[in-house]
Amino acid sequence: MRISARILFLFIFLAGGLTQAEVVLRWTGGTGVPTKEVNVALVLSKDQENLASLKARVKLPPELEYGGAKLGLSAEMNGVKFKAEPGNPSEIELQAGPSGSLPDGVVASIDLKVKADAKIGSTVKIEAEATARSVQGQDTVVRSEVEDIAIVETEPVVSCFFYMH
């Protein structure tokens, strides 16, 4: 059986495109109430990529102000070193711990305070970007997926149906 060079090249090209590693940093949104805080989690997912460091920057709209940042559970369990610089834009820096690579999962979270004059019923967008460096020392492209924050009048109430009846 003879395979043409074109078909072989096409197969190798397509297979290479399908197996290309991807790094995604998802910024969770949710709902926020004026004068209260909303927590935004930074969730890292990487496909076959060992990252030595990650730097994330967030620029806040006028309706939100920076309230603080902390290390996420998966990063804390793996001994990741953490540094946060408040401001607008705020910056978060993560360095791999003893395992040698940043873990998947919630690596950090940011507390944002919704200002009192935020318009109820509006949707707030934060601008975020991230850069990473692989264990081999190469810069790695990070795709940021940012969810919006909805400004609501009251906090959502979570309750158990069976308990309430």
Domain ranges for the chain: 27-142
pLDDT attached to residue 165? 58
If we measure between CA atoms, which residue out of 34, 25, 24, 43 comes closest to residue 124?
34
pLDDT attached to residue 164? 58
For every residue of the chain, which 3-state class applies, written as one string? CCCCHHHHHHHHHHHHHHCCCCEEEEECCEEECCCCEEEEEEEEEECCCCEEEEEEEEECCCCEEEEEEEECHHHHHCCCEEEEECCCCEEEEEECCCCCCCCCEEEEEEEEEECCCCCCCCEECCEEEEEEEECCCCEEEEEEEECCEEECCCCCCCCCHHHHC
pLDDT attached to residue 156? 64
Burial of 32 (0-12, 13-18, 19+ CB in 10 A): buried
pLDDT attached to residue 47? 81
pLDDT attached to residue 1? 45
Fold of 27-142: Immunoglobulin-like (2.60.40)
Question: pLDDT means per 10 residues in the chain (165 residues)?
Answer: 46 42 86 92 86 91 91 89 85 86 90 93 92 89 91 75 63
pTM, two decimals, is 0.77
pLDDT attached to residue 99? 80
